[in-house]
Structure 1
Amino acid sequence: MSPRAFVLGVLCVLSPVPAPAHTHTLSLDGKWTLTNSNASLSLPAQVPGSVHTALQQQGYIQDPYFRFNDVSYRWIALDNWTYTVTFPGSQLRDRQKVLLVLDGVDTVSTVQLNGMVVGKTDNMFRRYDFSIRDWLQDGDNELKVSLLSPVLYASERRNAHSAYRVPPECPPDVQRGECHVNFVRKEQSSFSWDWGPSFPTMGLWRGVRVEAFDVLQLSQLSSVPLYTSVLRPVVGKSLNIMMKSVEWTVQVQLLVDVVLKTSGQITLSIPELHTEHTFSSQFVPGETGLSFSVHVNTSSQVRLWWPNGHGEQPFYRLLVRGSQDGVVILSTESKVYFRSVELVQEPIVGSPGLSFYFRINGKPVFLKGSNWIPAHSFQDRVTPAVLRNLLQSAVDANMNALRVWGGGVYEQDLFYDICDELGVMVWQDFMFACAMYPTEDDFLQTVREEVVQQVRRLASHPSVIIWSGNNENEAALATDWFNIPASQRPTYVKDYVTLYVDNIRAIVQQEDQTRPFLLRPGLLDWRTFPRTRFASEYGFQSWPSFSTLQPVSIKEDWSYDSDFASHRQHHEGGNQQMLQQAALHFHLPSSTQASSRFTHTLYITQVMQAQCVKTQTEFYRRSRSEIIEGKGHTMGALYWQLNDIWQAPSWSSLEFGGKWKMLHYFAQDFFAAVLPVGFEDDDTLLVYAVSDLSQDLQLRAVVTVFSWADLDPACTLKSDLLLVPGGSAVPIFKQPVAALLAGCGRCTRLTCLLTFHLEDDSGQQGPTNHHFLCSPKDAEGLQRPNITAKVQQEGRDTPSRSTLPPWLRSCGSTWEPSPDASAPTAS
């Protein structure tokens, strides 16, 4: 069977440029007026923005994240709200066509201009264009966007769906959320999740503008990639000597809104590649799609876009110019990226099933990264600085991939621009998560519009490498999460196929034939480390640092048993699970002072989380080259989750605000390009050399035995140099633990531990790793370290990386502010 390959050649990312003289764009971003349903509240509101943000900015509410305010402010989402603004119409009415463009309305609204209804919205993820020329006045024009309560709307939609239930009806009680979110096309986690609060947002969350034009207006610029390999005769040699070469074609897609039928010319050029083509075009009234093939000059050496750690991320400029009788009617430019992507699913010798891995520019790439959730409950608070800090932190931890999770939002353009720039591959879910969904005609129609718009918007980004239909919905159906009677299962299976196969997949394959589309199967058994082909979700919870919790709490909250600690935990039994796991290997904090015990407990949950995720990630990385009992060949590890939406316990490695947890520091090591992985099998220590590099290496393992009571090594062992092929995991050290310790004086499992690293003839390659021979709580000779800590300012607001040995970094040597003292203390 041939590999299932999806090849992406060229990608164009639209950049803003001045509009031609025949168009006029009026931005309506800025100050609007916001009123509630009975007009008891009237206040200024910023657009883009949300109702909650406006109320906080004007002093009507406190920080929604403070203590229990997510419950206290529930009334906001149960009311209806109206945004109002006035704008001049004199320069707009002279144009042949005038459009009101709303890039993002959250969510269900009626749009009125001068008292006349010009349109309605029901989908947070769609752009809406309404023709308004006939309702414009020369003077001031009043625009109103009247928003319905998403909670009440969802309930009404569910009640109207009386034939059968569409589960889940409501979130678990521990989440303190709202019901029936699957009936409204908005951020699913805004009604609550097991790591986030319930803030069913409302507002104009993306820009609003008026576009007026006489001839045409460019709506979208993207590309359909073409990448071909050809055989050519070698110059100066016999004609029977052939060499494979690559030819690139930029397939440019323009979506234009045309007023009158006209003809003109389109010129497309890539100056850096000495490529320019001019085409004659016919413009037909209405929304028209134009497609052009631009063959790249074969004498040019095209530079390829690579994921982080595998190369650079170069781009070229694509200039687009349209003219009619010498008059410019269209002018823009974009970034052009060259790269290919293939999802390879083919038989593996000695293993059932198919492979599952990505080839980028022909090279197999192990995906290393995490899962992305919304960075804030209120999207207008996700600034460029917030995005860049979080994404740069991912790259700084040697990640090359993130999965945009299907219960949040399709991220803003800047998110994907930064991923393009940093070489972060994106696994893009469609926004459906952990639920069944209705399939009425109006629901399917708005979903179809959503999918078309989002695929066209995002297809130009080289970072996006795969589309996924949903998050865990197939698993929910297959394993009966919602206790659906057997007699009713065919109805839900039919709905699933209708939504994801007949509609979403069909649209994606029509709009973008360059990437694979998956119906995500869901989670694996959490009780074991399965030898999977690709691990896209796994993890363990921890609490954030006290410094992150302090601004949203008061002193009475600083106890692990407090109402606040219980309120912030949205995963059933989560607080107890963290302590139970930590107690297996560490002595739990026992200070008699509740606040000190609280800060120490926060810290020990981070220690345990880091060790858990480290162990599982290293298992996946060393499994990339092995097939054991028919399983293995793992080529991806994306742990759950990268970031937080608020200050609370979760599976994240970055706290809300961007501070690194211990897990993120560990990730910097366990995602290193060259990594030693050690583990025990039947009382035998094995050390694997894992390499993501293209070139082969000659490496040895260096194993050092330390006593818990002394920082000086007890002994050191070295293996012979062995070949480690590029892109492989190879065992290079194997020795029974008893024999290893016998040569190290008085060392036993309880008194000693191991560190190990890899080196070649030039020195150490990759980080130093560690292996505990017993649970740290059982270690003998471990003494309380005498450590002095100081805060060191770095380039970003992240904690300074410790230079202590890794076993000490995870056993009590991190500074954390004490709630009871003004000076730093060692925790």
Structure 2
Amino acid sequence: MTVFAPWLLHDFAPGEGERQQAHTPELDTAGWLPVAVPGDVHRTLVAAGRLPEPFYDRNEPEADWIQEREWWYRTILTGPQDALAPDERLRLVFDGVDTYATYYLNGEVLGTSQNMFREYAFDVTIKLRPGPNTLAVRLDPPLQHVNLAQVPAWDPEIVKPKVAMRKAQFGYGWDWGPVLPTFGLWRGVKLRRERAARLTGVQFATVTLNATHTFAVVTASVEVERFATDAPLNAEFTLTLPSGEALTRQLTLEAGQTGGEVSFELRDPALWWTHDLGTPALHSLEVRLLLDDQPLDQLSQQVGVRTIHLDQSPDADEPGTRFFRFVLNGLPIFARGANWIPADSFVGTLTRARYEPPIRLAQQGHMNMLRVWGGGVYEHDAFYDLCDELGLLVWQDFMFACAPYPETDELAQEVRAEAEYQVRRLRSHASMALWCGNNENQWIQEMRYLTRATGDLYYAKILPEVVTELDGQVPYWPGSPFGGNDHNSMLDGDRHNWDVWHGQRPIVRQFGDPIGLDRTPEGVSYRNYAVDMGRFISEFGMHAAPALRTLRRVIPEGELYHHSPSMDHHNKDNPKNKGDALMEGTTGLPGDLAEYLLFSQVAQAEGLRFGIEHYRRRMPHCSGALIWQLNDCWPVLSWSVIDSDNVPKAGYWFARRAFAPLLASVKPLEGGGAEIWLTSERREEVRDTLTGRLMDFAGQTLWTRDVDVQMGHGQSFAVLNLAAEELHADGHHYLRLESRGGQFEASTHFFVEIKDLKLPQTLPILEARAQPDGSLSLSVTASQYSYLVHFTSDEVVTFSDNFFDLEAGQSRTVTATHPVRALRPEDVELKMFQARQLQQ
């Protein structure tokens, strides 16, 4: 029922709104601002000119006053003109309110809420009048609801009130995010007219799948709330297969019964696979609830036939360790992907159109898993729908991160209600692969204080109870990282590698070992990934600057230089010069802004490639590598591989090649030798000839080796061993790996750091041709070896490929597109890695 007039917004000093009758029909709303629902207070104020753009320059503190005010939403709600039947009711449903709210209808209090992460509903059958009604929502300053005496803290000097609130934690600042705690009706509001009973949950599950994938049994179950009948009810299930065939089942819920299940037997089922292993086939499930053949309620969802399992069996080849690998439809997989943070600081403004570009880039980047990190939000339905459609698994954290959480009765009740709501909402998505209790809480607590984590009531009891009771299909894991002697163990469970970026020592650690720091270029070198023998790396990464056009939106022209006050404000990691040590060891320190943007992206790209290749070579002993992080919530210098304007960094393109299902890589050996490895995650057998060429930058071939290879899914092994004396391991030579059958993309291995290479500096020749569809065909040809050839634009341009190397005489064609207009050759600029120290 679309019955809401446009919403209005106004702010008051705490307690002043009621005194000024903001909740009553009689209020004069002159001066109130129009506000979108779903939406956000901050963006409304920016649009009205009451708040400077908070992302620009150092404006962020200009928004501090917002969290000290109370914010009122008002609308006119039209009640039905016709009389309700005796078994009908009206329910006012708020899908998401941020955060402490009081609800008023025609001046009377309906109720309150205190959790951003769950739905609230109010029975307004008696209170709603025919015709216009005044609906008001008061949002209080969150901190006034926090009892600081009940807030646990790791450091008594740093008490974080946010942990007592069921509110997005990242809004209070993170090492990649601003301090912009939000307010608003951040998800939809609806009035539901319901009769007799309603569907409260539908679950779809694959309970049987035979080894040959020729037979499956799936179930569909319902949960029902009866509010005005004990009579028998009928549930009608329609499962529409990808072929278009519709299968139906009927279920009778006898008098008083509130749930039931039906099953479907499927011959040669169309399975849901991640996109790299097959087709993410989706079925349509529709459930109708009926009383005496009259429809009461209906729910529909896209679902997938698939099984998911977490294998933690002992790894016999590495005694004392256990696997941590996902098994999809009986097939063990290597999770290749990234961590997902909220795509905007103002989550109420997000739409499917905002979600699709970064998620599609993840799929195109050969990723098969995204981890929804626990300091943000349970994402919008559009996020999970897109992952279902594009064939990406989802690791779903519950919303707890990097802090001790109070274990009060009140908070425990909220956590249970939140978990029940979210598990019901998300459990039937084909993409759901794991429920995880939190981000880093047990690890940090026990690493620092050697005691049980405050919050274990949730991670060890409430959350697994809810997952078992309401899901029972998707596995649960207590935290990330978790498992082993130390909760960041290399022997068991999943692991976060921050030893490299933060220079933490020792890298190999036992429970209780002190933590040291080495932030020298050697201490933060990405080559330290090579000592990580972890089972599943669920976080690892390093900083890089965003694109120049992204920075120009938020950095004043006079501060567009490395470590300017505004640039450092857009780097929330401390100390601010941490990335300098990484660049110093990889590219050398930058001399100007252009070099900083390029060098930081090169250091990230080479580091991610090195780490991904190392972890993938260790398959199956290591079964996952999730980059920290895929995306940003604002324009920032961060670990992301896609910036806030959806411009992929060099790191994205390097990771895309390193994540390709069939990978050829080089493993350096002590003493100067090397092994060439091939790693396959293709379902079909691979037969190919791998060619290795030792080259110099003048284009001369020193030697060539050909190796015939044959391998199956999930295999990774060395195919060629090269002695040190064969390699000429200096700054004049490189090793080139190619597939004679074109089954994997050619790659280059250098023997020294980028700063020590004797790279040619001649820019390739570009031929740009406008196409009838408005795109540009960009053909580049190199006369000499060209490292990091890439295209840039001040326009919103998408490139089909970028940040690649070309050998002498080699050409490559890239397509450039713009979302709304035809491109001209002058819209695009060709660049490569050119540094002043290489030209001296």
Give the alignment's TM-score, normalised by structure 2: 0.82
- Which residue in 2 is equivalent to 1:702? 691
Q: Distance in 2 between matches of 1:791 and 1:383?
A: 35
Q: 1:567 to 1:610 in 2, by over 3 A?
A: same
Q: 1:422 to 1:245 in 2, by over 3 A?
A: closer
Q: Distance in 2 between matches of 1:800 and 1:289?
A: 61
The amino acid across from 1:291 in the alignment is: G
Q: After superposition, give the CA deviation of every residue in 1:178-237 in whole Å (9 maximum; x if it has no partner).
A: 94211110111010000011110000000011112232333332234422659xxxxxxx
Q: Distance in 1 between matches of 2:104 and 2:115?
A: 17
Q: 1:47 to 1:804 in 2, by over 3 A?
A: farther
Please say if 1:729 is aligned against 2:729. no
- Which residue in 1 is equivalent to 2:663? 675
Please say if 1:423 is aligned against 2:418. no
Give the 5 Å matches for 1:777-796.
777-780=755-758, 782-787=759-764
Tell me if structure 2 keeps the 8 A contact 1:34–1:82. Answer: yes
Q: Distance in 2 between matches of 1:795 and 1:123?
A: 52
- Which residue in 2 is equivalent to 1:148? 140
Q: 1:352 to 1:500 in 2, by over 3 A?
A: same
**SS at 1:269's partner residue?**
strand
Please say if 1:48 is aligned against 2:29. no
Tell me if structure 1 keeps the 8 A contact 2:176–2:638. Answer: yes
Q: Distance in 1 between matches of 2:330 and 2:739?
A: 28
Q: After superposition, give the CA deviation of every residue in 1:3-56 in whole Å (9 maximum; x if it has no partner).
A: xxxxxxxxxxxxxxxxxxxxxx34538433333335796311111111101111
Q: 1:789 to 1:572 in 2, by over 3 A?
A: farther
2:194 to 198, 204, 213: 213
The amino acid across from 1:338 in the alignment is: V
Q: After superposition, give the CA deviation of every residue in 1:445-494 in whole Å (9 maximum; x if it has no partner).
A: 111100000000000101011100000001011101xxx5x7xx4xx54x
Please say if 1:504 is aligned against 2:463. yes
**SS at 2:746's partner residue?**
strand
Q: After superposition, give the CA deviation of every residue in 1:684-738 in whole Å (9 maximum; x if it has no partner).
A: 1211011111232233331223323x2x342341233133232211111111132
Tell me if structure 1 keeps the 8 A contact 2:106–2:135. Answer: yes
Q: Distance in 2 between matches of 1:201 and 1:680?
A: 48
Q: Distance in 1 between matches of 2:783 and 2:617?
A: 20
- Which residue in 1 is equivalent to 2:315? 348
- Which residue in 2 is equivalent to 1:526? 499
Q: After superposition, give the CA deviation of every residue in 1:787-815 in whole Å (9 maximum; x if it has no partner).
A: 46688999999999996789967557554
**SS at 1:614's partner residue?**
helix
- Which residue in 1 is equivalent to 2:304? 337
Shift of 1:825: 7.6
Please say if 1:555 is aligned against 2:550. no
- Which residue in 2 is equivalent to 1:663? 651
Give the 5 Å matches for 1:377-456.
377-456=345-424
Give the 5 Å matches for 1:750-761.
750-759=731-740
The amino acid across from 2:92 in the alignment is: L
Q: Distance in 2 between matches of 1:795 and 1:694?
A: 38
Give the 5 Å matches for 1:236-251.
246-251=215-220
Tell me if structure 1 keeps the 8 A contact 2:675–2:718. Answer: yes
Q: 1:364 to 1:513 in 2, by over 3 A?
A: same
**SS at 2:126's partner residue?**
helix
Q: 1:813 to 1:244 in 2, by over 3 A?
A: closer
Q: Distance in 2 between matches of 1:449 and 1:205?
A: 19
- Which residue in 1 is equivalent to 2:60? 70
Tell me if structure 1 keeps the 8 A contact 2:91–2:191. Answer: yes
- Which residue in 2 is equivalent to 1:517? 476
- Which residue in 1 is equivalent to 2:117? 125
Shift of 1:571: 0.7
Q: 1:116 to 1:349 in 2, by over 3 A?
A: same
Tell me if structure 1 keeps the 8 A contact 2:139–2:184. Answer: yes
Gaps of 5+ in 1: 1-24, 172-177, 231-242, 591-596, 626-632, 742-747
2:248 to 276, 293, 308: 276
**SS at 2:469's partner residue?**
helix
Q: Distance in 2 between matches of 1:119 and 1:806?
A: 72
Q: Distance in 2 between matches of 1:806 and 1:144?
A: 69
The amino acid across from 2:42 in the alignment is: H
Q: Distance in 1 between matches of 2:5 and 2:479?
A: 38
Shift of 1:674: 0.8
The amino acid across from 1:192 in the alignment is: G
Q: 1:74 to 1:206 in 2, by over 3 A?
A: same
Please say if 1:303 is aligned against 2:270. yes
The amino acid across from 1:194 in the alignment is: D
The amino acid across from 1:501 in the alignment is: A
Q: Distance in 2 between matches of 1:392 and 1:327?
A: 42
Q: Distance in 2 between matches of 1:158 and 1:805?
A: 65
Q: Distance in 2 between matches of 1:812 and 1:270?
A: 50
Please say if 1:259 is aligned against 2:235. no
The amino acid across from 2:499 in the alignment is: W
1:715 to 666, 684, 702: 702
Q: Which deviates more, 785-794 or 41-50?
A: 785-794
The amino acid across from 2:180 in the alignment is: F
CA RMSD in angstroms comes to 3.0
**SS at 1:134's partner residue?**
coil
- Which residue in 2 is equivalent to 1:31? 7
Q: Distance in 1 between matches of 2:770 and 2:580?
A: 32
- Which residue in 1 is equivalent to 2:107? 115
Q: 1:803 to 1:670 in 2, by over 3 A?
A: farther
Q: Distance in 1 between matches of 2:192 and 2:771?
A: 45
The amino acid across from 2:198 in the alignment is: Q
Q: Distance in 1 between matches of 2:778 and 2:542?
A: 22
How many residues matched?
Answer: 738
- Which residue in 2 is equivalent to 1:585? 586
Shift of 1:599: 2.5
Tell me if structure 2 keeps the 8 A contact 1:705–1:714. Answer: yes
Q: 1:735 to 1:218 in 2, by over 3 A?
A: same
Q: Distance in 2 between matches of 1:372 and 1:465?
A: 15
- Which residue in 1 is equivalent to 2:326? 358
Gaps of 5+ in 2: 18-29, 482-495, 501-527, 796-825, 835-840
Q: 1:514 to 1:824 in 2, by over 3 A?
A: closer
Give the alignment's TM-score, normalised by structure 1: 0.84
Q: Distance in 1 between matches of 2:233 and 2:648?
A: 55
Q: Distance in 2 between matches of 1:200 and 1:731?
A: 51
Q: Distance in 2 between matches of 1:380 and 1:804?
A: 46
1:606 to 601, 605, 617: 601
Q: 1:800 to 1:101 in 2, by over 3 A?
A: farther
Q: Distance in 1 between matches of 2:776 and 2:371?
A: 25
Please say if 1:61 is aligned against 2:28. no
Tell me if structure 2 keeps the 8 A contact 1:33–1:85. Answer: no
Q: Distance in 2 between matches of 1:800 and 1:508?
A: 51
Q: After superposition, give the CA deviation of every residue in 1:39-93 in whole Å (9 maximum; x if it has no partner).
A: 7963111111111011112222232211112111111122111111111224376
Tell me if structure 1 keeps the 8 A contact 2:763–2:786. Answer: no
Q: Distance in 1 between matches of 2:444 and 2:777?
A: 42
Please say if 1:769 is aligned against 2:738. no
- Which residue in 2 is equivalent to 1:191? 172
Q: Distance in 1 between matches of 2:187 and 2:373?
A: 20
Higher relative contact order (CA 8 A, sep 6+): 1
Q: 1:168 to 1:644 in 2, by over 3 A?
A: farther
Sequence identity (%): 27
Q: Distance in 1 between matches of 2:83 and 2:830?
A: 68
Q: Which deviates more, 808-817 or 204-213?
A: 808-817
Q: 1:727 to 1:460 in 2, by over 3 A?
A: same
